Homo-oligomer: A and B are copies of this chain.
């Protein structure tokens, strides 16, 4: 854990919301604006390393992020994933997908298919709607 990049606090410029157990961070992916990550504060590897109540809390936050991105960005699809092969500290990717993005209909981890349409995202609006809809704990 000594050099785990998710065991250090998030860059404040990218932090979208923080609770006592997890945080939401802007992934700042130029191919996929609006791509958010939900990061569990404590260093655990797997979803099933969490107690059921913590697991439910984390997944409720993931669901809220999905709902916020749908409302603000109207994506053609949302992708939700927890991989952690490279950084085994529990985190979830929540990715708004559009038919004209760089990878659609493939996963964002597949080779790019095209440059991808330019799309601007109002990060302040995401932050604001998250703060209104997520619990404080």
A1 beta carbon closer than 8 Å to chain B: no
| Stretch of A4-12, A100-108, A114-122, A124-132 with 4 or more beta carbons under 8 angstroms from chain B | A100-108
B77, A88: Cβ atoms under 8 Å?
Answer: yes
| CB < 8 Å neighbour of A63 from B47, B85, B106 | B47
Name the distance in Å between A70's Cβ and chain B's nearest Cβ.
6
A20 surroundings in chain B (CB, below 8 A): none
B63, A86: Cβ atoms under 8 Å?
Answer: no
Q: Residues of A at under 8 Å CB distance from B?
A: 45-48, 55-56, 59, 63, 66-67, 70, 77-86, 88, 97, 104-107, 109-111
A78 surroundings in chain B (CB, below 8 A): 46-48
Q: How far is the CA of A130 from the CA of B45 in the complex (A)?
A: 22
A70 surroundings in chain B (CB, below 8 A): 46, 48
